[in-house]
Amino acid sequence: MKIATWNVNSVKARLPHLLSWLESAKPDALCLQEIKCLADDFPSLEVKSLGYHVTAVGQKTYNGVAIISREKAEIVHTALPGDDTDTQARYLEADIAGVRIATIYLPNGNPVGTDKYPYKLAWMKRLADHARELLDEERTVVLAGDYNICPTDDDVYDPVGWREDALCRPESRAAFRIIANLGYVDAFRALHSEPGRYSFWDYQAGRWHRDEGLRIDHLMLNPQAADRLVACDIDRAPRAKEKASDHTPVWCEIGPPRLI
Q: Using CB under 7 A as the criterion, which residues of the chain lie in contact with DNA when the complex forms?
A: 9-10, 12-13, 36-37, 60-63, 107-108, 110, 116, 203-205, 243
Shortest separation between residue 234's beta carbon and DNA, angstroms: 18
Q: Which is nearer to DNA, 5 or 224 (CB)?
A: 5
3-state secondary structure of 220: strand
A 10 A CB-CB count for 256 gives: 8
Residue type, 122: A
Q: Which is nearer to DNA, 84 or 115 (CB)?
A: 115
- The alpha carbon of residue 139 and the mean position of all alpha carbons in its chain are separated, in whole angstroms, by 19
User: Is the separation of the CB atoms in 39 and 63 below 8 Å?
Assistant: no
- CB neighbour class for 230 (10 Å; exposed up to 12, middle 13-18, buried from 19): exposed
Q: Which is nearer to DNA, 99 or 234 (CB)?
A: 234
A 10 A CB-CB count for 120 gives: 24
Q: Which is nearer to DNA, 13 or 97 (CB)?
A: 13
Q: Which is nearer to DNA, 117 or 254 (CB)?
A: 117
Give CA separation, 246 vs 9, 45, 78, 222, 232, in Å.
7, 25, 25, 28, 20
Shortest separation between residue 88's beta carbon and DNA, angstroms: 8
Q: Which is nearer to DNA, 209 or 258 (CB)?
A: 209
Shortest separation between residue 187's beta carbon and DNA, angstroms: 22
Shortest separation between residue 189's beta carbon and DNA, angstroms: 22
Give CA separation, 251 vs 111, 113, 116, 158, 230, in Å.
30, 34, 29, 25, 11
Closest CA to 246 of 195, 197, 176, 198: 198
- Strand 2-7: give its sheet, edge to edge: 53-57, 65-69, 29-33, 2-7, 250-254, 229-234
Q: Which is nearer to DNA, 35 or 141 (CB)?
A: 35
Shortest separation between residue 242's beta carbon and DNA, angstroms: 8
Shortest separation between residue 112's beta carbon and DNA, angstroms: 12
Shortest separation between residue 81's beta carbon and DNA, angstroms: 20
